[in-house]
Structures are given as structure tokens and as C-alpha cells.
């Protein structure tokens, strides 16, 4: 039997993972990985943290934990597969089963034969078609060199005014990094919210306040039309459809596009990314693809359209699936939840599954809830407030999606929700899981379980919540009466900016029902609407017919509030 020849195009995440795993499974295989760049296997996700100063040597992203550079020689010696850097694949010949590669140093080309081919060509930052995009001091943050030059120029040129174009995950991370570097940061986003496509607008609005509190100047619903430069070719300003913003530093992060040209030219099926089977095979079964160059499918049939979500975590899963399949093991990749998370200053913001906006577009009969509260018992010093938004199907009460935003430990709750969505869990399941409870970690009923309870109650017609957006809309129409059921001290410190508020502490509501008009819509609230919900139930039991509580309480209110003496 002749030796199995495996050729891998791309050396950042999926490529090295495939090669390493396959060499372990098939020590005799002849594995070659080629990469256009001189660097391989680098942690691109760490770039914003180098910019931030979280670590001082960019080598941390290209070296192992003990400081060995992950070079071609490193992989050959430790893992036993060959690596060719500065080598570009220019053409795939599926008939001959060869790939034409070109040395970027010598210019030589040659054909490499394969039995199995793996395409892991990754993605590229989208370059918007606007003037000035090639000016100096305009960065796309995808390569260690980009981060290194940005940091060097901040020091050498004393850059002061940064403009972020795009408010996605990378935009958020870089904005934080540049604020910590003491630059002025304006973040421009053409949609009217941060993290468009990731979060619903109400959750985004809550996170936006925190960005602004940390001096990020948000320019939402504003479109960049061009960049201006000086005679030396350096960027000087960003022109939008509304104004011109001075800038000596521009970082553009408006999305990633799959590098699918090579696959497309070889006649492989693509649709905004290379199409792959569960085993990561392309339309040619001898050619696999994985990582940022492919489109993924959702974990279940909730979403049938392919989803392009380029992530290092998914790329590694693809690599394992590909190596296993080549070695004869069936470990199909089940798909993604669309999970994403970002640290934005003191907030954790993210989602798993689908958003309410997506549920509406998909015509799903859903119900949603926003819950706000502390992530630990209130008596623990480290308890932090955060919001959870949960969306579930009315038909079978399965969890469809969860979003988090706030200072509380949302990452843990996202992971529990991602697990429940993976396994097809219902609201009842999510509330029943025996999660790890102790006061340093969570309240006795975990927030994610509380959220599942309230959403169940809402579907049962027991809890009648309104989102802050809905409350605001009814307040603007002026018909509704707000019932503040907080204690007098709380009411003194902070009030809703509205003229029809009745204040009755929860403990007095039962005795003072006659102060509440029966012919009006009543919206109850407190700090987090736990008492607001109790008040809704008390009023309903007393025969009030149009009562709702405000979801998340005034802590979740992203609009104006009247603070004591301010």
C-alpha cells in the first residue's frame, strides 16, 4: 500500500489542527501544509489584547506557552508533518489530483500531488469600497503585523484620535484597547446599534451605555463615505454621511469574507463560503474544507439558511472532524449555535442561538423575556448586575436563543444556554439542570433558571412583562400609568422621567389598591422588577385587567432617568 498523501492549504487554525490530529491518527501519512504567509499557527484572536497591552511581546501569539516559535521546523520536529511557508496555492487540478503552488520568494511554481486535499484558506477582512482605504495608519486587524505596527505608531507618532469603523466583535475589542491606550475613540456603525446581527436592539442599547460611560464616542446609524489623507499619505479624517471626523488612526472591522476563490475556480460549490457536508467534505469528496473559508449550518432545523460565523473555536472543530474522517473515523460536525461573546470594558456581551429579530424573520411563534439582576447573592461583594434575554418557541418551549449584557458573569450562562440549545432543551430542562451552586458563584436559583421560569410564566399567561422599548412607546403615547413599588428611599434617589407615576411600596399595595386607577393601563416596576412582577400579580388577583411589569426593572432602562439632584 502506498503512503497516503495529504495536502493542506492554509496554516493558521484549521490547517495545523487537521495536520496535527491526522499525524497522531496516521503516523505513516505524508502530510504537507502550505501557507502563503511567513507566520503559521498564530492566535489572531489575541491581536486586540496585544494592542491593549495585556501582554507586551507579540511573540506570545506565535510562540508556544514555553516560548518556542511555532515555525515550520517546530511542526516538523514535534508533530512530524511538513510545512511550506511563503507558498501560495494558485490552482487545484481535481482530475490530476494536484495543486499548483508558487514560492513567493523564488517565484518558482510546481505541482504537488494529493490523495486528500484540505482547504483551510481562512477569511479576509472586508475592504469597503471607499476612497482612502489604502492610506497609511488605516488598519485591518487580522495579522500580528497589523497589531505590532499599530502599537508602534501609537508610541512613535503619538496617535491621538482613533476612529473605529464597525461595531462588531473586533471593533468592540479594539475600541476597548485604544481607550486603555488613552486615545480618543469614535466608533462608527452604519446600523443603529452596536453588534448588529449579533444582539437585539434592546440588549445592544444596554451595552451602548457602558461603552459611552467608558468614553467611546458612538456614531450609530452613520455611514462612512471616505477617508481623507495628507500629502504624506497618512489618514487625517473620516468622512461620513453626516460629518467629517478628524482621525490619525483608523481601524476598519466591518466583517470577514471567506477566501473561497481557489475552491470556486476548481468548481467546488460555494455560497458565501465553501459548502461542506457534516464531515467537512466539499462537493468533491476527496477535498475537505474547514475554518473561516466555509459556511456553517445551525445546530438544528431552526435556521435552515447557512450561517457565516468565522471563529477559531469552530475552525478547530472542523480540523478534528476532517482529520478523523480522513483516518476513517466518523465524527460529523453537528453545526453551530451562532454563539459569540465579547468583553467590553467591565461588561460581558454575547449571544447563543437566535435573536428575537431572527425569530421574527423566521416566522417562529416565540416568546421572549428580559431579566435583570445580580449574578450572585446580593450579600456577596463580587455580585454584579447583568441582563439576560431569552427566546423560546411557544410550540414546544425549546430554547431558541439567549443574549447577555452587563457586568455579571454572562459567559457562564451563555455556555449553559449553548449546551441546552445543542441538546434541544426546553425551558423546563434549563431550569432543572443541577448547576453548581455556592454563594461565590451564583444565587441558589441561577439567573439562567430564573429567566427560564419567568419565560415559562409568561407563556402560561402568569407573568405579563413588557420590554423597556414597549414601555417607552406607551409612555410616549401618554396613556399609561406607571406603578413604582420600590421603597421610599429608592424612589427619592431615582425616578422615571414621566408625569404619571404612582408610588406605593410593594408591602402597601394590597392596602392601597384604591389609589390605583382601574380604567388605565398599569405598568409596575422596581429596580429589577422582581417586586414589579409581584405587584402585577397582586393587581390581577384584585381584578385589575390591564397590568404589566417592566422587564428588567429600571436597571434595564436605557433611556432618561431623573437622579436625585441631577
Catalytic amino acids? 45
For residue 149, give the 3-state DSSP assignment: helix
Q: Measure the CA dihedral 301/305/308/311, to 10°.
A: 0
CB 439, min distance to a copy of itself, A: 5
Give the whole-angstrom CA distance, residue 526 versus residue 327.
59
Instruction: Pick the stretch among 98-106, 191-199, 235-243, 444-452 that binds a copy of itself (CB under 8 A).
Output: 444-452
Does position 447 bind a copy of itself by CB under 8 A?
no
**Among 149-157, 213-221, 281-289, 425-433, the segment contacting a copy of itself (CB under 8 A):** 425-433
For residues 35 and 84, the answer to whether their CB atoms sit within 8 Å is yes
Q: Where does this chain touch a copy of itself (CB under 8 A) — which range of 102-110, 194-202, 212-220, 442-450?
A: 442-450
Q: Is 415 in the site for a copy of itself (CB under 8 A)?
A: yes
Kindly tell me which residue out of 32, 87, 337, 368 binds a copy of itself, with binding defined by CB under 8 A.
337
Query: What is the nearest approach in angstroms of a copy of itself to the Cβ of residue 227?
Result: 28
The beta-carbon contacts of 424-430 under 8 Å, at least 24 apart in sequence, are 424/300, 424/398, 425/398, 425/399, 426/392, 426/396, 426/397, 426/398, 426/399, 427/392, 427/397, 427/399, 427/452, 427/453, 427/455, 427/456, 427/459, 428/397, 428/452, 428/456, 430/399
Residue 347 contacts a copy of itself per CB under 8 A: no
242-301 positions binding a copy of itself, by CB under 8 A: 299
Taking contact as CB under 8 A, which single stretch among the options 107-115, 148-156, 359-367, 426-434 is the one that binds a copy of itself? 426-434
Inter-residue contact 392 to 370 (CB < 8 Å) = no
According to the binding rule CB under 8 A, does residue 240 interact with a copy of itself? Answer: no
Of residues 43 through 72, those in contact with a copy of itself by CB under 8 A are 43, 45-46, 49-50, 54-55, 60-61, 65-68
Q: Which is nearer to a copy of itself, 381 or 395 (CB)?
A: 381
DSSP string, 350-418: EEEE--HHHHHHTT--EEEEEEEEESS-TTSTT--EEEEEEEEETTT-BEEEEEEEESS-HHHHHHHHH
Q: Report the interhelical angle of 312-326 vs 14-25 (nearest 10°).
A: 30
Q: How many residues bind a copy of itself (CB under 8 A)?
A: 101
Complex with a copy of itself: residue 88 or 429, whichever CB lies closer: 429
Which of 360, 394, 462, 476 binds a copy of itself (CB under 8 A)? It is 462
* Residues 220 and 211 sit within 8 Å (Cβ to Cβ): no
One residue of 37, 88, 145, 429 binding a copy of itself per CB under 8 A: 429
In the list 422, 525, 544, 549, the residue contacting a copy of itself (rule: CB under 8 A) is: 422
The whole-angstrom separation of Cα 349 and Cα 340 is: 8
Residues 509-538 that bind a copy of itself (CB under 8 A): 510-511, 527, 531, 534, 537-538
- Pick 314 or 467: Cβ nearer a copy of itself: 314
Amino acid at each position: 500500500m502506498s503512503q497516503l498523501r495529504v495536502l493542506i492549504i492554509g496554516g493558521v487554525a484549521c490547517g495545523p489542527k487537521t495536520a496535527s490530529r491526522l499525524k497522531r491518527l496516521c503516523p505513516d501519512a505524508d502530510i504537507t501544509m502550505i501557507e502563503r504567509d511567513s507566520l503559521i499557527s498564530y492566535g489572531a484572536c489575541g491581536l486586540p489584547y496585544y494592542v491593549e497591552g495585556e501582554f507586551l511581546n507579540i511573540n506570545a501569539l506565535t510562540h508556544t506557552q514555553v516560548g518556542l516559535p511555532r515555525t515550520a521546523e517546530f511542526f516538523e520536529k514535534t508533530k512530524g508533518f511538513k510545512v511550506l511557508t511563503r507558498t501560495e496555492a494558485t490552482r487545484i487540478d481535481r482530475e490530476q489530483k494536484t495543486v499548483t503552488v508558487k514560492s513567493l520568494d523564488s517565484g518558482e511554481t510546481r505541482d504537488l500531488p494529493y490523495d486528500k486535499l484540505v482547504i483551510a484558506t481562512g477569511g479576509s477582512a472586508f475592504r469597503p469600497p471607499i476612497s482612502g482605504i489604502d492610506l497609511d495608519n488605516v488598519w485591518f486587524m487580522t495579522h500580528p503585523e497589523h497589531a505590532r505596527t499599530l502599537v508602534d505608531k501609537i508610541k512613535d507618532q503619538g496617535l491621538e484620535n482613533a476612529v473605529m469603523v464597525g461595531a462588531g466583535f473586533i471593533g468592540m475589542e479594539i475600541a476597548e484597547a485604544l481607550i486603555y491606550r488613552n486615545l480618543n475613540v469614535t466608533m462608527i456603525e452604519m446600523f443603529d446599534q452596536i453588534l448588529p446581527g449579533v444582539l437585539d436592539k434592546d440588549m445592544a442599547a444596554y451595552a451602548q451605555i457602558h461603552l459611552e460611560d467608558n468614553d467611546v464616542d458612538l456614531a450609530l446609524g452613520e455611514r462612512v463615505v471616505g477617508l481623507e489623507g495628507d500629502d504624506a499619505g497618512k489618514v487625517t479624517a473620516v468622512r461620513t454621511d453626516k460629518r467629517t471626523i478628524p482621525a490619525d488612526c483608523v481601524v476598519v472591522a466591518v466583517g470577514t469574507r471567506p477566501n473561497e476563490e481557489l475552491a470556486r475556480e476548481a468548481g467546488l460549490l460555494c455560497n458565501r463560503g465553501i459548502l461542506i457536508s457534516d464531515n467537512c467534505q466539499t462537493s468533491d469528496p476527496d477535498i475537505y474544507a474547514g475554518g473561516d473559508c466555509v459556511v456553517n449550518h445551525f445546530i438544528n432545523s431552526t435556521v435552515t439558511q447557512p450561517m457565516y460565523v468565522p471563529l477559531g473555536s469552530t475552525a478547530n472543530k472542523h480540523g478534528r472532524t476532517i482529520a478523523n474522517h480522513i483516518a476513517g473515523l466518523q465524527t460529523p460536525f453537528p453545526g453551530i449555535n451562532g454563539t459569540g461573546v465579547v468583553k467590553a470594558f467591565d461588561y460581558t456581551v454575547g449571544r447563543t442561538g437566535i435573536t428575537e429579530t431572527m425569530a421574527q424573520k423566521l416566522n417562529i411563534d416565540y416568546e421572549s423575556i428580559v431579566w435583570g439582576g445580580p449574578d450572585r447573592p446580593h450579600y456577596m461583594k463580587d455580585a454584579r448586575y447583568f441582563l439576560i434575554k431569552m427566546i423560546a418557541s411557544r410550540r414546544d418551549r425549546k430554547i431558541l436563543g439567549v443574549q447577555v449584557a452587563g457586568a455579571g458573569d454572562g459567559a457562564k450562562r451563555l455556555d449553559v444556554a449553548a449546551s441546552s440549545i445543542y441538546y434541544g432543551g426546553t425551558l423546563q430542562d434549563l431550569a432543572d439542570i443541577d448547576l453548581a451552586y455556592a454563594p461565590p458563584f451564583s444565587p441558589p436559583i441561577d439567573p439562567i433558571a430564573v429567566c427560564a421560569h419567568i419565560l415559562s410564566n409568561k407563556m402560561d399567561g402568569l407573568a405579563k412583562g413588557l420590554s423597556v422599548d414597549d414601555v417607552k412607546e406607551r409612555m410616549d403615547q401618554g396613556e399609561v400609568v406607571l406603578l413604582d413599588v420600590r421603597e421610599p428611599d429608592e424612589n427619592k434617589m431615582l425616578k422615571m422621567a414621566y408625569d404619571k407615576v404612582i408610588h406605593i411600596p410593594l408591602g402597601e399595595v394590597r392596602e392601597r389598591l384604591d389609589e390605583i386607577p382601574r380604567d388605565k393601563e398599569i405598568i409596575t416596576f422596581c429596580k429589577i422588577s422582581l417586586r414589579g412582577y409581584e405587584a402585577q400579580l397582586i393587581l390581577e388577583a384584585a381584578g385589575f385587567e390591564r397590568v404589566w411589569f417592566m422587564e428588567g426593572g429600571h436597571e434595564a432602562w436605557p433611556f432618561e432617568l431623573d437622579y436625585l439632584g441631577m
